[in-house]
Structure 1
């Protein structure tokens, strides 16, 4: 189903930059960028990406997303303040989050497959037949070696790009005289969220708004359950709780509002998207204008 595609394949794939940049930042002792990237990306996903996607085309929200994914989204947002009570994300907390990510993904995929095997098989047969007819013959076999080479090349470029991105972000923070946390919450967060933005806007424009919504929800869950612990295992990630209270308040409040919009009706409207966008712009303005940021 489109929702599962958005929540897993699309969301996890588009969140790869957040994971790579977070790991690179933590490994090179830039903990503020690693943490700011996770918090800022989740805020941007809701206030910028979901908002723009809905402004482009209102999205219908499935009952499965409202009853299952939305509560998980809220719980992951509430987990962040708890994880930072002692000022850092410990290794055992990281291991627990990664285990929860594996369990959640397996549960979601198994639940989606339950009772739908026959429908999937019929649909696959129709697609294969239509493809063969259009091509004038049987479908061409895949080339696993080529696909593996492309995947490895993409991973290498992503790692190198992530390292350069972190270096550039820290250099900008020094040259602008601002904290690395501010750069992580804004520039880095928006930069690593560009794949989600492009994917969601394209999906909405083509009438697949459910993929766009699933992409945002899945990415936010992935960022907390995978990107954050992966970064913490690569190096120290954390900050004094008092220093990130405004960021966490914005994250929890924005997530709560987004969840209310997703659960209130069977669709999220342009008006609700406009509210999310305005609140995100206000958050960015606060970050830029607040003293000692």
Structure 2
């Protein structure tokens, strides 16, 4: 019978696998449902796919806040957003240079920058409480309303869809439900295994969230963006990360803060939050230069992420 370190490692690996499988099912089902009713690839990337791939962070952060500490939630979101930019887009750009669509650059990127800035401003007093959580959720509601409006403008005419469009498929719905179940199980296993293993080694809850949980919950974004880059669907790759970073802050931290106040330590204010701002600003600057992310940009993002992880270790 496994116990201690062996059990934690098994739970950690099982959690990562379950999160990956769950996100793949969720992305496949939700993506086909959305495309079937006429949403364009870039719009699907920043809406349905981004929201679906944010589900691991939502489950891990919420369950972690209830079962372990709110530091788990904050660390997971900060670490995941930085991983999305440095690791996910870095690898995707290395696979294939990513062209930035006008829709993502001028409609969605400003919301990503605003969400990061809002997080910094609301966290300056050292606490993200219920009021701040409500503010996040209200901004999320406004962003969602904007996306719904934009989706109606950007929708593809039925005549241009494959087979003229199609009805909702029961298999796609079952993929979505199965993906959600796998995400719930995977998030619990990942928290139990990852936190137990690192706690045994003497690391803090925030460090656990910033590293193993953030990397684990970024697997869906990594899979969706890299596969999108390989297939030439750069709209999915970029939109997925931009949308996911928005939902991570507004939805995940909003829900966690409403459930339980999140404390923001002085060290987080000095390092992790500025790191998020730096990665966000650098990404926007790269996007604005020629409206694409080159392989050189991708390499620079990966190096930056490696430096961030190195500086985390005490």
Distance 1:257 1:243, change over 3 A: closer
Asked if structure 2 preserves the Cα contact closer than 8 Å seen for 1:22 and 1:33, the reply is yes
Query: For each residue in 1:238-265, what CA deviation from the matched residue of structure 2 results, as whole angstroms up to 9, or x when unmatched?
Result: 2223444211111100110001111221
* Structure 1 equivalent of residue 163 of structure 2: 128
* Structure 2 equivalent of residue 43 of structure 1: 82
Asked if structure 2 preserves the Cα contact closer than 8 Å seen for 1:26 and 1:232, the reply is no
Asked if structure 2 preserves the Cα contact closer than 8 Å seen for 1:40 and 1:185, the reply is yes
TM-score by length of 2: 0.82
Instruction: Provide the C-alpha distance between the structure 2 equivalents of 1:48 and 1:97, rounded to a whole number of angstroms.
Output: 26
* Structure 2 equivalent of residue 170 of structure 1: 195
* Structure 1 equivalent of residue 133 of structure 2: 94
Instruction: Provide the C-alpha distance between the structure 2 equivalents of 1:18 and 1:49, rounded to a whole number of angstroms.
Output: 15
Asked if structure 2 preserves the Cα contact closer than 8 Å seen for 1:86 and 1:240, the reply is no
Asked if structure 2 preserves the Cα contact closer than 8 Å seen for 1:4 and 1:109, the reply is no
Asked if structure 1 preserves the Cα contact closer than 8 Å seen for 2:70 and 2:263, the reply is yes
Deviation at 1:164, TM superposition (A): 2.1
Report whether the alignment pairs 1:276 with 2:301. yes
Q: Which has the higher contact order (CA 8 A, sep 6+)?
A: 1
* Structure 2 equivalent of residue 107 of structure 1: 146
Deviation at 1:213, TM superposition (A): 0.5
* Structure 2 equivalent of residue 78 of structure 1: 117
* Structure 1 equivalent of residue 5 of structure 2: none
* Structure 2 equivalent of residue 135 of structure 1: none
Asked if structure 2 preserves the Cα contact closer than 8 Å seen for 1:196 and 1:216, the reply is yes
2:277 corresponds to which of 252, 268, 271: 252
Distance 1:94 1:55, change over 3 A: same
Deviation at 1:223, TM superposition (A): 0.3
Deviation at 1:143, TM superposition (A): 5.6
Asked if structure 2 preserves the Cα contact closer than 8 Å seen for 1:39 and 1:185, the reply is yes
Secondary structure at 1:98 match in 2: helix
Query: 1:16-35 maps to which residues of 2 (within 5 A)?
Result: 16-35=55-74
Report whether the alignment pairs 1:219 with 2:244. yes
Deviation at 1:282, TM superposition (A): 0.5
Query: For each residue in 1:106-132, what CA deviation from the matched residue of structure 2 results, as whole angstroms up to 9, or x when unmatched?
Result: 212312422x56x522213xx116x9x
Instruction: Provide the C-alpha distance between the structure 2 equivalents of 1:265 and 1:143, rounded to a whole number of angstroms.
Output: 40
Deviation at 1:68, TM superposition (A): 2.2
Query: For each residue in 1:173-201, what CA deviation from the matched residue of structure 2 results, as whole angstroms up to 9, or x when unmatched?
Result: 22111112112111110100000000111
Report whether the alignment pairs 1:183 with 2:208. yes
Structure number with larger C-alpha Rg: 1
TM-score by length of 1: 0.87
Instruction: Provide the C-alpha distance between the structure 2 equivalents of 1:93 and 1:266, rounded to a whole number of angstroms.
Output: 34
Aligned length: 275
Distance 1:107 1:43, change over 3 A: same
Asked if structure 2 preserves the Cα contact closer than 8 Å seen for 1:86 and 1:241, the reply is no
Distance 1:282 1:205, change over 3 A: same
Secondary structure at 2:83 match in 1: helix
Distance 1:66 1:178, change over 3 A: same
Deviation at 1:73, TM superposition (A): 1.2
Report whether the alignment pairs 1:210 with 2:235. yes
Instruction: Provide the C-alpha distance between the structure 1 equivalents of 2:217 and 2:192, rounded to a whole number of angstroms.
Output: 14
* Structure 1 equivalent of residue 50 of structure 2: 11
Instruction: Provide the C-alpha distance between the structure 1 equivalents of 2:62 and 2:295, rounded to a whole number of angstroms.
Output: 36
